[in-house]
């Protein structure tokens, strides 16, 4: 890809029907390179509405920057000395004031807040938006429910600029859950005008059009190719962003993304092979920032509902066959925290993620396969998200080779990024690689999503355990009541059970790696791991 092609704007209307963007650096425009941020990544959004069915991780980035929530987080200094969201401190975004009572929270809205078409933001819009989130089903509704936000009756319009959330129960996750990506506030009248009887929440419209009050709006989107965003100069949710325009290009080739950075044609990339990040950091021409995923791990999941992975001995054999150290060295190049090899007998921590005691031991794995009734192994598929192939593909190849040594013949199944979330949620893949990072940095939150047996979307292993559910529910209750002893007991209980039942095998805690030109500043690490354009500036 040459510089001229990269900088050229989209020449035809997007397939989504969005407005075509003008030339990025047209001489007729006062827009300068300093006011435009050029981002290249491996994959892009499949839906620009966080409430949309099967919206993928890149879609979070659009929603975060184009929509406001009632509240957001303050920043602090992170583990690498860089700005990092403070999970315990909140600030207003659409709300100028928040008053948290015993069983409700009341928000005063900023009277100057308007949507991007100039319509004032009112409490009616907030209620409609949160009603939508708890009603549309799937990921958004489960996310809201994780913070005990599940009924439209909880959301109360007091007056045009006063809104109240009534609590179903005491839950320490409720207020933090209002600051994640899902409870975005929509221009309700605009969306309703574009709704239909079959689509009462206007999901088809918001899949392709932004309808928020956030700092940016999408002016052009060509799925799989490019997203163009323009600053909303009437934004009141925070300090006015320095960057007026964001051009986000999907460049599948990692080599091309690196070349664009090294030539100065791109400002930021965050999906390069770890080897490239290490080499670029050593070269010293770019700023490289690496941050551990908060509350996250890369794992090998198994569908424990169906044979052969319904057999715990098979799952243990797989765990003993995984080439952990090879993955750390050949795929991550040290940019990741091992989640294996803990000393036998080491105490369980009240924390997540933490390492298992598993190490690679092919002889033990073979013995367990024989005990499980599979001395000659079996055939299966190993699936991964092609949208994050730079890590997933080499990891899958190494695991395929290692499992072959114990008789498990795997066919690698590469699922396009736009489809992976949908396929994952069908819960039919027998063996798969995935990463999950809980937006609320509490152990019980991760386990609600990934191990609870009741309607948990990311319990993609089809794992059912009343004992596990009891530990998770107990930890949630104990955290709300301040019962520290019970909380610690239950957290240790669900971690121990996860490691003994082993429906998924933790591999490593990934790092969020971002490469930026030296004149780009303002990067912040957020729980969703995507870029926040609002804080960036270019020197």
Q: Could you tell me where the DSSP H helices lie in 209-291?
A: 254-263, 274-283
Q: Are residues 259 and 143 in the same domain?
A: no
Average pLDDT, integer, range 263-287: 96
pTM (2 d.p.): 0.90
Banded model confidence at residue 504, pLDDT cuts 50, 70, 90: very high
- Give the sheet arrangement for strand 104-109, strand by strand: 95-100, 104-109, 162-166, 155-159
Can you tell me the distance from the alpha carbon of 149 to that of 408, in angstroms, rounded to the nearest whole number? 44
What's the Rg (C-alpha) of the chain? 23
pLDDT of residue 6 exceeding 80, the answer is no
**Closest C-alpha among 191, 256, 261, 203 to residue 38:** 261
Q: Are residues 63 and 92 in the same domain?
A: no
- Dihedral of CA atoms 57, 534, 114, 231 in degrees, nearest 10, equals -90
- Dihedral of CA atoms 472, 478, 483, 484 in degrees, nearest 10, equals 30
Instruction: Give a yes or no: residue 193 inside a domain.
Output: no
What angle, rounded to 10 degrees, do the helices at 466-481 and 443-450 form?
A: 150
Banded model confidence at residue 346, pLDDT cuts 50, 70, 90: very high
Banded model confidence at residue 506, pLDDT cuts 50, 70, 90: very high
User: What pLDDT is attached to residue 14?
Assistant: 32
pLDDT one-digit tens code per residue, 90-149: 999 999 999 999 999 999 999 999 999 999 999 999 999 999 999 999 999 999 999 999
Q: Are residues 224 and 305 in the same domain?
A: no
Residues in the chain, overall count: 539
Residue 295 phi/psi, 5° resolution?
A: 55, 40
CB 271 within 8 A of CB 481: no
Banded model confidence at residue 539, pLDDT cuts 50, 70, 90: confident
User: What pLDDT is attached to residue 285?
Assistant: 97
Average pLDDT, integer, range 181-194: 98
User: What pLDDT is attached to residue 223?
Assistant: 93
Can you tell me the distance from the alpha carbon of 433 to that of 350, in angstroms, rounded to the nearest whole number? 26
Q: Are residues 256 and 304 in the same domain?
A: no
Banded model confidence at residue 63, pLDDT cuts 50, 70, 90: very high
Instruction: Give a yes or no: residue 458 inside a domain.
Output: yes
User: Which domain covers residue 168, as residue numbers?
Assistant: 86-177
Is the preceding omega at residue 303 within 30 degrees of 0, hence cis?
A: no
Tokens found for residue 363: 């002889």
Q: Are residues 361 and 497 in the same domain?
A: yes
Tokens found for residue 8: 């050229």
Instruction: Examine the fold and report which residue of 122, 148, 177 is the final residue of a domain before the chain moves on.
Output: 177
Q: Are residues 370 and 429 in the same domain?
A: yes
Instruction: Give a yes or no: residue 79 inside a domain.
Output: no
Q: Are residues 446 and 382 in the same domain?
A: yes
Banded model confidence at residue 8, pLDDT cuts 50, 70, 90: very low
What angle, rounded to 10 degrees, do the helices at 389-404 and 312-321 form?
A: 110
Q: Are residues 426 and 472 in the same domain?
A: yes
CB 86 within 8 A of CB 73: yes
Instruction: Give a yes or no: residue 187 inside a domain.
Output: no
Average pLDDT, integer, range 68-83: 96
H or E stretch at 87: strand 83-92
Q: DSSP character for 225?
A: T
Please state the domain count of the chain. 3
Instruction: Examine the fold and report which residue of 126, 159, 177 is the final residue of a domain before the chain moves on.
Output: 177
Average confidence score pLDDT of the chain: 93
Instruction: Give a yes or no: residue 289 inside a domain.
Output: no
Q: What's the CATH code of the domain at 108? A: 3.90.76.10
Banded model confidence at residue 461, pLDDT cuts 50, 70, 90: very high
Q: Are residues 265 and 319 in the same domain?
A: no
Q: Are residues 372 and 438 in the same domain?
A: yes
Three-state SS at 133: helix
Instruction: Give a yes or no: residue 74 inside a domain.
Output: no
Strands 36-41 and 268-269, bridge-based pairing? parallel
List, in sequence order, every residue forming a beta bridge with 106; answer none if it has no partner.
99, 164
Can you tell me the distance from the alpha carbon of 449 to that of 460, in angstroms, rounded to the nearest whole number? 10
Tokens found for residue 64: 């975060």
Q: What's the CATH code of the domain at 57? A: 3.40.190.10
Average pLDDT, integer, range 463-492: 97
CB 237 within 8 A of CB 113: yes
Can you tell me the distance from the alpha carbon of 29 to that of 195, in angstroms, rounded to the nearest whole number? 36
Q: Which residues, in sequence order, are CB contacts of 478 under 8 Å at separation 6+?
A: 484, 486, 487, 490
Q: Are residues 496 and 523 in the same domain?
A: no
User: What pLDDT is attached to residue 457?
Assistant: 87
pLDDT one-digit tens code per residue, 206-236: 999 999 999 999 999 999 999 999 999 999 9
CB 4 within 8 A of CB 17: no
User: What pLDDT is attached to residue 215?
Assistant: 98
Q: Are residues 102 and 130 in the same domain?
A: yes
Q: Annotate 298-310 with b (16+ C-beta within 10 A) or e (fewer).
A: bbbbbbbeeebbe
Banded model confidence at residue 435, pLDDT cuts 50, 70, 90: very high
Banded model confidence at residue 456, pLDDT cuts 50, 70, 90: confident
CB 38 within 8 A of CB 30: no
Give the whole-number percent of the chain exceeding pLDDT 70: 94
Poorest-pLDDT segment among 18-32, 49-63, 219-233, 496-510: 18-32
Instruction: Give a yes or no: residue 208 inside a domain.
Output: no
User: What pLDDT is attached to residue 484?
Assistant: 98
CB 299 within 8 A of CB 353: no
Instruction: Give a yes or no: residue 398 inside a domain.
Output: yes
Q: What's the CATH code of the domain at 429? A: 3.10.105.10
Poorest-pLDDT segment among 11-15, 70-74, 153-157: 11-15
pLDDT of residue 315 exceeding 70, the answer is yes
């Amino acid at each position: 890809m040459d510089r001229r092609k990269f900088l050229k704007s989209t020449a035809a209307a997007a397939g989504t029907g969005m407005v075509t963007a003008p030339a990025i650096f047209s001489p007729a425009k006062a827009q300068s390179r300093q006011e435009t941020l050029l981002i290249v990544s491996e994959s892009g959004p499949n839906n620009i509405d966080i409430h949309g069915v099967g919206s993928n991780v890149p879609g979070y980035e659009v929603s975060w920057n184009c929509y406001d929530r009632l509240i957001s987080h303050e920043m602090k200094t992170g583990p690498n000395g860089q700005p990092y969201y403070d999970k315990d401190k909140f600030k207003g975004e659409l709300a100028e004031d928040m008053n948290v009572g015993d069983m409700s929270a009341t928000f005063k809205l900023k009277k100057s807040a308007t949507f991007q078409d100039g319509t004032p933001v009112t409490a009616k819009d907030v209620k409609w938006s949160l009603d939508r989130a708890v009603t549309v089903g799937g990921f958004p509704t489960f996310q809201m429910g994780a913070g005990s936000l599940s009924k439209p009756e909880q959301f109360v319009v007091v007056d045009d600029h006063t809104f109240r959330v009534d609590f179903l129960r005491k839950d320490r996750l409720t207020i933090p859950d209002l600051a994640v990506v899902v409870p975005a506030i929509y221009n309700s009248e605009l969306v309703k005008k574009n709704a239909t009887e079959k689509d009462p929440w206007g999901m088809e419209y918001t899949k392709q059009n932004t309808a928020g009050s956030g700092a940016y709006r999408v002016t052009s989107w060509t799925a799989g190719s490019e997203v163009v965003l323009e600053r909303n100069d009437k934004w009141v949710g925070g300090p006015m962003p320095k960057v007026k325009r964001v051009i986000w290009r999907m460049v599948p080739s990692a080599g091309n993304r690196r070349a664009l950075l090294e030539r100065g044609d791109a400002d930021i990339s965050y999906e390069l092979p770890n080897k490239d990040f290490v080499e670029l950091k050593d070269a010293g021409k770019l700023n490289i920032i690496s941050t551990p995923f908060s509350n996250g791990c890369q794992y090998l999941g198994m569908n424990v509902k169906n044979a052969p992975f319904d057999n715990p001995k098979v799952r243990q054999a797989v765990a003993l066959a995984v080439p952990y150290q090879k993955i750390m060295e050949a795929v991550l190049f040290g940019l990741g925290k091992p989640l294996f090899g803990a000393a036998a007998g080491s105490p369980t921590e009240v924390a997540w993620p933490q390492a298992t005691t598993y190490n690679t031991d092919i002889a033990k794995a073979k013995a367990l396969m024989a005990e499980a009734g599979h001395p000659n192994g079996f055939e299966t598929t190993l699936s991964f998200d092609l949208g994050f192939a730079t890590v997933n593909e080499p990891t899958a190849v190494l695991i395929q080779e290692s499992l072959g040594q114990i008789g498990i013949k795997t066919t690698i199944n590469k699922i396009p990024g736009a489809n992976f979330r949908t396929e994952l949620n069908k819960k039919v893949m027998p063996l798969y690689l995935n990463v999950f990072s809980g937006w609320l940095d509490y152990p019980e939150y991760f386990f609600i999503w990934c191990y609870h047996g009741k309607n948990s979307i990311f319990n993609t292993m089809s794992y059912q355990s009343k004992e596990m559910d009891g530990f998770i529910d107990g930890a949630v209750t104990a955290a709300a009541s301040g019962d520290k002893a019970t909380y610690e007991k239950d957290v240790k209980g669900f971690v121990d059970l996860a490691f003994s039942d082993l429906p998924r095998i933790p591999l490593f805690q990934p790092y969020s790696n971002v490469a930026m030109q030296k004149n780009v500043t303002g990067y912040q690490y957020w729980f969703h791991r995507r870029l926040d354009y609002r804080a960036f500036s270019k020197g």
